[in-house]
Amino acid sequence: MTAQATYGVEEPQLSTGLQKGSIGLGGALMQSVAQISPTLGIFYTIAFTTGQSGITAPLTYLAAFLVCLMIAVPMLGLARHLPSAGGFYTYVSAGIGPRAGFMTGWLYAIMVSVVPAALAAFTGAVLQDELDGKYHVGIPWWVYATVILAICLLCAYRGIVISIKFLVVMSCFEMVVGLALALSGLLLPGKGGVNLDGFNPLNIHNGSGFFLAIVLSIFAFTGFESAAVVGEESRDPRRIIPKAIIGSLVLIGLFYCVTAWGLQIAWGTDRLSSLASSPTAPAFALADRLFNGASIIILIALVNSGLGVCIACTTSATRTLYGIARTGALPSSLARTQQKHHTPVVAVFVQSAVAFVVCLAVGLPLGPYNLFNLLGTTGTFVYIPIFILMNIAATRFFWMRHRNEFSIWSHVVAPIVSTVALLLIAYNSLVPLPAFPVLLAPFIAIAYVLAGFAILFGRNLRSGQRDWMARAGELPDVE
């Protein structure tokens, strides 16, 4: 029986459901790892974290990892009980109610739908700058970005298996390059030699700067939750998905701490001010020294990372849209799946169209780096309410429906600690207000919320249109 038939929604002609049992633990793990985008996450944050926290930048990644563990703890139980393509939509609907669930799912879906636009533009700009500067290849960034988004569309249309195969290869390659650069730095350190000063809390000399570095580092981890959306396409999802979520966090936590430490040692801990002020990603300069001028390897890894996160976000967006639509809370056409590849074909084309339009229509006048910074900061404001609502949902879900599994640590302490951390992040992201165009980020996030409310009250809560509410927090076709 298909998901649509189970829900009582009119079954579209092409609908056959998602491809059940098509990926294992490795595939689900790499879905999360790719959406985190490890080399982009470390190569383009190390200068900022060093500028804010000095030699203790590696410690900020460790602290961020611990905060993200607090966020992940309540999510693991929800992923075990509710392995749904709807992800946060299903979790919050089951724990709080369908209205809150719809708003949570909507915010996550719209955010990850536009992320590929920002990442494709950013990756295209990096390609343009590096290839033009070193090899005099004068192709504009938007051409590269268009190719990246076209590859994402093709992978999404062809199915989860080919998407995951891409992610496994690309994610493994970029992490090997990042670790190779860091380990080379430990073997050939800069001025200051090899030391563990970066992990010593006594070396924190600027508390506010250290905190700001943790804020950025936390959002370098976001994406670990995305394994949830491939639950219905995984083998034994109740076991695999929680392992993929926590596994991706641990893997990236180790990667960030080791790589940040190695990059600082390679640069030289006695000259970190120049790392903080580096006009380009410090990894390029380090690769020229440590890899005998072969910084092209770093560029390939970064392109891998950019493409990987775009593919992973496309998967997250289309599965979330599918999960919401099959309950009737969005147009049923978004729940149509293609017969041959079992992909949510309408959702794929809608998400791809949104990404193309945002990338070009906004990126061309604003610039690719401004688009990246703007949408990335918007994502920060969107993630905060999503995670807070998920915390509340986990506490209520286990207290009301699975009291025998209720844990003070998992469902009280961890949600409170992570919620306080998220609220502090929100405050420090707004005070002081950022400069234009990043200043627009909170207003764009508010626009996402208002659009969700418009759909909720204008469509879903009208008389005769509320059947979806009974289905929002249920698992129709997953055992």
Does residue 91 form part of some domain?
Answer: yes
pLDDT for position 340 = 83
Burial of 112 (0-12, 13-18, 19+ CB in 10 A): buried
Q: Helix 57-81 vs helix 88-95: angle between axes, to the nearest 10 degrees?
A: 70
Could you list the residue range(s) of the whole structural domain that residue 363 is in?
3-382+427-470
Residue 65: which CATH number?
A: 1.20.1740.10
Separation of alpha carbons 371 and 437, rounded Å: 8
Separation of alpha carbons 38 and 267, rounded Å: 20
Question: Of 260, 249, 195, 202, nearest to 49 (Cα)?
Answer: 260
Does residue 432 form part of some domain?
Answer: yes
pLDDT for position 303 = 92
CA angle 419, 218, 420 (to 5 degrees): 15
Separation of alpha carbons 373 and 361, rounded Å: 16
Q: Compute the Cα dihedral for 88, 91, 95, 99 and give only its sign.
A: positive
Does residue 412 form part of some domain?
Answer: no
Query: What Å distances lie between residue 291 and 41, 177, 180, 188, 286, CA to CA?
Result: 21, 11, 10, 11, 8
Burial of 254 (0-12, 13-18, 19+ CB in 10 A): middle
Does residue 67 form part of some domain?
Answer: yes
Separation of alpha carbons 260 and 179, rounded Å: 10
Burial of 399 (0-12, 13-18, 19+ CB in 10 A): middle
pLDDT for position 476 = 62
Name residue 309's amino acid: V
Q: Please tell me the total count of domains within the chain.
A: 1
Does residue 361 form part of some domain?
Answer: yes
Which structure tokens are listed for 457?
A: 């009250």
- pLDDT by position in tens, the chain (length 479): 334 444 444 443 344 477 787 889 989 999 999 999 999 999 989 999 999 999 999 999 999 999 999 999 999 999 999 988 889 999 999 999 999 999 999 999 999 999 999 999 999 999 999 899 888 888 999 999 999 999 999 999 988 888 888 888 888 999 999 999 999 999 999 999 999 999 999 999 888 788 888 888 887 898 999 999 888 888 888 999 999 999 999 999 999 999 999 999 999 999 999 999 988 889 999 999 999 878 899 999 999 999 999 999 999 999 999 999 999 999 999 999 888 878 899 999 999 999 999 999 999 999 999 999 899 889 989 999 999 999 999 999 999 999 999 999 999 999 999 999 889 888 877 777 778 888 899 999 999 999 999 999 999 999 888 999 999 988 765 44
Does residue 394 form part of some domain?
Answer: no
H-only helix segments in 328-440: 345-357, 363-366, 368-401, 408, 414-430
Q: Compute the Cα dihedral for 125, 131, 132, 137 and give only its sign.
A: negative
pLDDT for position 164 = 86
Which structure tokens are listed for 216?
A: 């950025």
Phi, psi angle pair for 23, to nearest 5°: -130, 155
Does residue 245 form part of some domain?
Answer: yes
Which structure tokens are listed for 276?
A: 């903080």
Which structure tokens are listed for 55?
A: 């030699």
Does residue 414 form part of some domain?
Answer: no
